[in-house]
Chain A
Amino acid sequence: MNKWNLIVDVAECTNCSLCTLAVQDEHVGNEFPGYAAEMPKHGHHWIEIERRERGQGTMVDVAYVPTMCQHCDDAPCVAAAQNGGAYKRPDGIVIIDPEKSKGQKQIAEACPYNAVYWNEERDIPQHWLFDAHLLDTGWKEPRCVSVCPTKALRAIKVDDAQMQEMVKVEELESLRPDLVTKPRVHYKNLWRYNSSFIAGTVSVERGGIVDCLEDAQVALKQENKAICTLQSDGYGDFKIDRLEVDSGVYLLEVSAPGYASETREVTLGESVNLGEIRLTSPG
């Protein structure tokens, strides 16, 4: 049986926020009986875009991660619900019933992704429902997908085996691998958000002039194990990425023919820009 999945590509999200605006446009002021009550005009972020800046100086990057109800197959909200207040549909979509969930604050509290919002005024939990109300009347995809200008969001309806294959081929991950809720939202390039880098720039002085050094050898080791080797680019810049946050002490060695090597010890927490590393000729 084909079921809905959402794929979020972190490398493509620009924080334009059309997805979040489309959710407000769809749900503020509109009642969809059996699916969703009106969304409060402000304060509910059924889709929320998380921001992560990495680095310092001129070696920075910024990743945005749209987060939303993960439509888990082992959904804690469904487990916490009583009287069918939240349930799983055969097509994979989790629905929080706007009538039956009334008063059931535990449904919102159960979500480890903080994606279920409590509507104080209506006394109900609410979430992004994959636009089930639209899909059921013939819409081809949820609105957040059709407004996305970079296709950072894609919705696909396939069977679970096909989805598992896609997870492998496209190297998809869960937002929080530590949670075993079997989410139906899959993330691509999540390392842009949750890993660290070590960066710097290599320079040399020749005849009183400082220049960037291209093709310097940059080697990163940890406990004498080689982690990565690469060359500096035309600006002397290097960036060793996809390292784990707080992953301990590294040794970085920069070398180039005709120059004395330089080493730096890095205790890596968040991403770090080591700045300029000047190589000098021996003697």
Chain B
Amino acid sequence: MFKLILWALPWVLRIARWRSPEFRERLTERNMVVQIRTADSSAGRYIVFQDGGIRSGAGIYDNSTVELIFKTAAIGAKLLMPPIDQLEQIDALKNFLVRLEGPDDDGVWFAQTVMAGMSAGWRVGRKMPDGTTRLCTMTNGGPLFVYVREGKIIRTTPIEFDTDDPESWSIEARGKVFTPPRSGALSPHAMNWKSMVYAPNRLQYPMKRVDFDPNGERNVQNRGVSGYERISWDEALDIVSSEIQRMKRDYGTGAIASSNGSHHNWGNIGYYLSAKLRFMNAVGTTEVHHNPDSWEGWYWGALHHWGGSLRVGGGELFGTIEDCLENAEMVVFWSSNPEATGGVYGGQEGTVRRRWLRDLDIELVHIDPYYNDTAQFLGGKWISPRPTTSPALALAIAHVWITEGLYDKEYVEARTKGFDAWRDYILGVEDGVAKSPEWQGSETGVPAKDVRALARKWGSKRTYLAVGGMGNTFGGACRNTNGTQWTRTMVCLMGMQGLGKPGVNVGNLQLGVPLDFSFYFPGYADGGISGDLNNTALATALYQRMPQLPTMNPSTQLIPRLRLPEAIIDGHAEGFLWDARTMEGQFSKIVYPKQGHAKVHMLYRYGTAILGTLNDANRYVAMYRSPNLEFVVNQSIWNEGDVEFSDVILPACTNLEREDIGEWANAGGYGAHFNSQINHRIIAYQAKCIEPVGESRSDYDIFSALACRLGLGSYYTEGMRELDWVKRMFDASDLPKHISWKKFLERGYFVVPSEKPEHRPPTAYRWFAEGRKKDLPEAMPLPGDYTEQFLEGLQTQSGKFEFESSSLKRYAPDDPERPLIVKYTPSWESSNTPGLEGYPLQLMTPHSRYSFHTQGDGKDSFLNDIADHRMLVDDHYYWVLRLNPQDAAARGIKTGDLVKVFNGRGAVLCAALLTERLRAGVAQGYESSAVYEPMGEPGRSVDRGGCLNLLSPRRSQIKNSHSMANGTAMVEVVVWDGDISFERTEPLTDRQAVAAEAVE
């Protein structure tokens, strides 16, 4: 049998060679002899690849290039005989029953050639009448049809469904029937990809810093200043792989840190939690451990009242769209601007659903210092508190409810714990200060009468609280200095009003679309090809369906991401774990360096630029220029942000230039049921639309090439190309039950059929409000985390909604920053903060509307022409800073003026836009500029790229957390006088801050 299979193999390749010009082309890449044999050479066959041709013979070849060796003929027959059993293959590989010997890259080439032979007949895309081919891709802002002709992208459009796509769901509410459009509603940044793919700052070939010599003078102090020279891929890969080896040889495991942005190009194969994690584990690296980015206040705050650790402190979501439309009389949007960010990844799919609020005349309120995009679209009462003060407003609302009896006393009695303590605090029993509407006025600037009017309406109407960008979590004020206070007050208000009763819940119609979640398709955090059973959901979500060689990072050392500069510059950093499995996960402290582990001397940067997205970003500028970092490699698509602070640059391609597969907004365990933002579950075959631009290569291809240089090539690739992994994931999902591979490749997408209305899950928290066991289709909290019976009660220790938190009582009962009941403490950075007198304006830096993190911005992209995104002044596209006309007049600023926004941490040039949408004293500009453009020496000059995160505080929201407080900062704004210099006055790192305090 073994011999028969070996005899057949060359024939498979010959047939592919006959059928496919691409395969013929591939065969010309290498000349080699592959010997396949048993370990004792009793059976064997060799294949000769020569000048594009294939020859084969039985027996043993004398001097073969590569040998594929099976322990016995029986094992060989079992492993090679179709259908291939992946688990058997993995087991055989783990037990070294099969080995690949010879140069790694030749071995991988041979294995991938065999795979290419299998796929030679596949046809991708649909031919259109105008001669284009319609392909499909998926982005962070929705799926696209990509029309390609002669290797060039002609146009990109939203997906419009075919008539034979499954029927859409409908919702009946108050006598009306609502059903979504049969197409995908994109985010602006999704309609921008053509300009991003063909951007002038695409990295076209590998580069090396001109004054960097890996064998001599490295000149690390010149990072960010000296230029680059083109080098070959071979040279680049040689430098990077030998630096990896040198780090391990000279310092030990963990001397290499790997760091990526929070989001990458969409796709389950090429993602950072997939291809990149697989490589970093294979090599052994110190993980730069992420903070719960944009969920800060929820994870470190609200969690302790209502649980929800597996949703990073956010709430349940099922059924809330139907319940809101049917039962709610009022919706209070509180720091909730879903129209700006589309939730997260949600395109503008939620817009039509919020439009239905208007159709039903449901009363709306918007609480936000900025008259935001959602308020603009929907209308309603606008209440504008000063940034960071709205916890005081919330307390005053509770005060009205308590003093006027406008809350659900039965619910509070039966379902909650510790209300008396909070009530006493609000009434002033504890500290002699009643938290009344009049009391909050001096903090928030909101008239007491408005607070009373709102509280009375809210207390007497069935009300949805739309809190944060996703309605029950994410963004907005949770990113402020006192984000934990804000989220805590928000959920406590709902605890008083009967969370889960009809029409009383959290949501903004962004999450909770009635889709069929039982259809299996994995999200991006479900492991992908990472092989990582510990740090992704692979073990619980994917491995059983898609076995793969496991990977384990030999280094368990972590660096808290927000302290990466401290780790490098100070050589010491501390933080806390983001371990969402339990409420207590966050109490574990991270200390770097870990005992006995190597300090980090090399940084592998990958993915999107970070200077625009991380707080007090000048710290990173200083880090890159620290002598403690001996080598920095950056693998990136565009030359922007911090790319030019590296020694070697590896050009990666976009996901329009490689194959992948992914579902719109399905983040897997990273954000459970995120795809419930989308009106239909849409899974895309993400086609390779065009060849990679210039010499750029896919991330997987780059990692494979490096792995080959480290002898890890066959381990890393399992002999697979990206396309083969895509097919493997297709087969692992429920897709084959509904659509053939051939049809999927042709159509490019699949719409998951909706469930029948009677099969839809019940409404979030209804079970809790009614005192029943949890009846929602979600395995959270963990079974062992219930207190009494499985499925009985919330994740909290008491199983009740806890106004007074048991988990905080156990961990740090006397922490003044995070007391057991939520209290209002004015922000540690506000107009009253000593030392900040020179910076009287409160700058809000919310998530950007038109771009997504640093994706979409800069790159000379189409977004530059959107006046609310960037403004053209003197031939440069400046980031926009919004100012109230009063503040502008006091400073002599007009719309279109170049203004310097600055504080003791940095200085940024922006174009001013005067607007009444902000209260006086408040400025607004988005965070997440992709462009960092210091006008002089990096760190010591004005940035004209628009990185407003240069101005945000270094400090964590609260000490016992690993959190950013980059939603606001105190700044001054002046008309720019042309001076490009800037001198920092704040300490740069934790150690420097301690030293400065000691001097004082």
Within 8 A of A (CB), among B172-195: 183, 185-186, 188, 191-192, 194-195
Whether, in the assembled complex, B377 has its beta carbon less than 8 Å from a beta carbon of chain A, the answer is: yes
Q: Which residues 142-200 of A have a CB within 8 angstroms of B?
A: 143, 146-147, 149-150
Contact B194 A29 (CB under 8 A): yes
Closest CB in chain A relative to B295 CB, distance in Å: 25
Q: Are B348 and A236 in contact (CB under 8 A)?
A: no
Q: Is the C-beta of B978 less than 8 angstroms from some C-beta in chain A? A: no
Query: Which single member of B188, B194, B379 contacts A28 (CB below 8 Å)?
Result: B194
- Is there a chain A Cβ closer than 8 Å to B796's Cβ? no
Contact present for A147 and B865 (CB under 8 Å): no
How far in angstroms is the closest Cβ of chain A from B519?
A: 25
Q: Which of B449-464 contact A (CB under 8 A)?
A: 449-450, 452-454, 456-457
Assess whether A137 is interfacial by the CB under 8 Å rule: yes
Known: A42-B864, A236-B453. A18 touches B186 (CB 8 A): yes
In-complex Cβ contact of B917 among A25, A43, A62 (8 A): A62
A149–B350 alpha-carbon span in the complex (Å): 9
| A56 adjacent to chain B (CB < 8 Å) | yes
Q: Which of A9-17, A76-84, A256-264 contacts B (4 or more CB under 8 A)?
A: A9-17
Which residues of chain A from 201 to 241 have a CB within 8 Å of any chain B CB?
203, 209-212, 233-237
The 8 Å CB contact of B377, one of A14, A138, A143, A209, is A14
Interface residues of B in 912-932 (CB under 8 A from A): 915-917
Residues of B within 8 A of A212 (CB): 449-450, 452-453
CA distance A60 to B362 in the complex (A): 20
A89: interface (CB < 8 Å): no
Q: Does B371 interact with chain A (Cβ within 8 Å)?
A: yes
B670 contacts chain A at the CB level, 8 A cutoff: no
List A contacts of B457 (CB < 8 A): 234
On chain A, the residues within 8 Å of B779 by CB distance are none
CB <8 Å contact, B860 and A18: no
| Chain B residues whose C-beta falls within 8 Å of the C-beta of A26 in the assembled complex | 155
Q: Is B158 interfacial (CB 8 A cutoff)?
A: yes
For window 889-921 of B, CB contacts with A under 8 Å fall at 915-917
CB of B130 within 8 A of CB of A137, answer: yes
Known pairs A18-B188, A29-B194; A24 contacts B865 (CB<8 A): yes
A62 touches B371 (CB 8 A): yes
Residues of B within 8 A of A203 (CB): 449
Whether A147 pairs with B453 at a CB distance below 8 angstroms is no
Say yes or no for A20: interface residue by CB 8 A criterion.
yes
In the complex the two chains form, what is the Cα distance from A59 to B916 in whole Å?
A: 9
Q: Residues of B contacting A14 with CB < 8 Å?
A: 339, 351, 373, 376-377
Q: Taking the complex as formed, is A22 at the interface, i.e. its CB lies under 8 A from any CB of chain B?
A: yes
* A210 → chain B closest CB, angstroms: 5
Is A127 an interface residue when CB atoms closer than 8 A count as contact? Answer: no
* Distance, CA A138 to CA B596, complexed state (A): 69
Q: How many residues on chain A are close to B (CB under 8 Å)?
A: 47
A210 touches B448 (CB 8 A): yes
Residues 435-472 of B at the A interface (beta carbon under 8 Å): 447-450, 452-454, 456-457
A53 touches B (CB below 8 Å): yes
Contact indicator per residue, chain B 823-865, by CB within 8 Å of chain A (1) or not (0): 0000000000000000000000000001000000000101111
In this complex, what residue of B is CB-closest to A14?
Answer: B377
What distance in Å separates the Cβ of B882 from its nearest Cβ neighbour in chain A? 11
Answer yes or no: A55 CB below 8 A from chain B CBs.
yes
Contact call B450/A235, Cβ cutoff below 8 A:
yes
Across the interface, name the chain B residue whose C-beta is closest to A134: B130
Q: Contacting B383 at CB < 8 Å: which of A53, A58, A143?
A: A58
Q: How far is the CA of A209 from the CA of B339 in the complex (A)?
A: 37
Interface string of B401-434 (1 = CB under 8 A from A): 0000000000000000000000000000000000
* A56–B452 alpha-carbon span in the complex (Å): 22
Q: Which of B345-376 contact A (CB under 8 A)?
A: 347-348, 351-352, 355, 371, 373, 376
Question: Is A281 close to B, CB under 8 A?
Answer: no
Interface flag for A21 (CB, 8 Å): yes
Q: Which residues of A contact B863 (CB under 8 A)?
A: 21
Residue of B nearest to A50 (CB): B867
Q: Which residues of A contact B860 (CB under 8 A)?
A: 41-42
Complex CA distance for A192 and B152, rounded to whole angstroms: 42
CB-defined contacts of A210 to chain B, threshold 8 Å = 447-449
- Report the separation of the CA atoms of residues A235 and B380 in the bound assembly, to the nearest whole angstrom: 11
CB nearest neighbor in B for A143: B157
Q: Which of B144-171 contact A (CB under 8 A)?
A: 152, 154-158, 160
CB A29 to nearest CB in B, in angstroms, measures 7
Interface check B11, CB cutoff 8 A: no
- Chain A contacts of B868 at CB under 8 A? 15, 17, 51
Residue in contact with A137 in the complex, picked from B129, B381, B456, B864, CB distance below 8 Å: B129
Q: Is the CB of B865 within 8 A of A43?
A: yes
Q: B198 an interface residue at 8 Å Cβ cutoff?
A: yes
Does A71 lie at the interface of the complex (its beta carbon under 8 Å from any beta carbon of B)?
no
Instruction: Tell whether, in the assembled complex, residue A237 and residue B381 are in contact, meaning their CB atoms are under 8 Å apart.
Output: yes
B922 CB, min distance to chain A CBs, angstroms:
13
Which residues of chain A come closer than 8 Å to B352, judged between CB atoms? Answer: 149-150
Given A45-B865, A149-B348, residue A236 in contact with residue B371 (CB < 8 A): no
Hey, what's the 0/1 contact readout for B591-633 against A, CB within 8 Å counting as 1? 0000000000000000000000000000000000000000000
Which residues of chain B are within 8 angstroms of A57 by Cβ–Cβ distance? Answer: 916
Task: Tell me whether B382 is interfacial, beta carbon within 8 Å.
Answer: yes
A265 within 8 A of B: no
Q: Which residue of B is nearest A235, CB measured?
A: B453
A146 contact set on B, CB distance < 8 A: 157-158, 160, 183
Determine if A24 and B381 form an interchain contact, defined as CB atoms under 8 angstroms apart: no
A30 contacts chain B at the CB level, 8 A cutoff = yes
In the bound complex, do residue B453 and residue A211 qualify as a contact, i.e. CB atoms below 8 Å apart?
yes
**A211 touches which of B130, B195, B449 (Cβ 8 Å):** B449
Q: Does B384 contact A (CB under 8 A)?
A: yes
Minimum C-beta distance from B606 to chain A (A): 28
A28-B862, A55-B916, A56-B916 in contact; A21/B449 too (CB < 8 A)? no
CB B632 to nearest CB in A, in angstroms, measures 32
B347, B355, B373, B916: most-surrounded residue (chain A CB, <10 A): B916
Is A61 part of the binding interface, using a Cβ–Cβ cutoff of 8 Å?
yes
Contact with A along B187-227 (1 / 0, CB 8 A): 01001101100100000000000000000000000000000
Query: Which residue of B is nearest A211, CB measured?
Result: B449
Report yes or no: B371 in contact with A16, Cβ–Cβ below 8 A.
no
- Chain A positions within 8 Å of B129 at CB level: 137-138
**Can you name the residue of chain B whose Cβ is closest to the Cβ of A59?**
B382
Quote the shortest CB–CB distance from B944 to chain A (angstroms).
18
CB distance from B316 to the nearest CB of A (A): 27
Interface centre among A28, A147, A236 (most CB of B within 10 A): A147
Contact with B along A68-111 (1 / 0, CB 8 A): 00000000000000000000000000000000000000000000
Closest Cβ of chain A to B542, distance in Å, is 33
Instruction: Determine the chain A residues whose CB is within 8 A of the CB of B4 once the complex forms.
Output: none
- Residue contact A24 to B371, C-beta cutoff 8 Å: no
CB-defined contacts of B448 to chain A, threshold 8 Å: 209-210
Interface centre among A17, A60, A234, by most B CB within 10 Å? A17
- In angstroms, Cα B195 to Cα A20, docked, is 13
Give chain A nearest CB distance to B331 CB in angstroms. Answer: 15
Q: How far is the CB of B60 from chain A (nearest CB, A)?
A: 56
Give the residue name and chain of the A residue nearest to B860 (CB): A41
Cα A61 to Cα B383 with chains together (Å): 13
- 19 other A-B residue contacts (CB within 8 Å) besides A60-B382, A234-B453: A15-B376, A17-B188, A20-B865, A21-B191, A25-B155, A25-B191, A25-B862, A26-B155, A28-B862, A42-B865, A51-B867, A60-B916, A147-B157, A149-B185, A149-B186, A149-B348, A150-B377, A211-B449, A236-B449
List the 5 closest A-B pairs by CB distance, nearest first: A149-B348, A149-B185, A21-B191, A212-B453, A24-B862
A-B contact pairs, 30 of them (CB 8 A): A21-B188, A21-B192, A21-B862, A21-B866, A22-B157, A24-B862, A25-B191, A25-B192, A25-B194, A28-B194, A29-B152, A29-B198, A41-B862, A42-B865, A43-B865, A45-B865, A55-B916, A59-B382, A60-B382, A61-B376, A137-B130, A143-B155, A147-B158, A149-B185, A150-B355, A212-B450, A234-B457, A235-B450, A235-B453, A276-B447
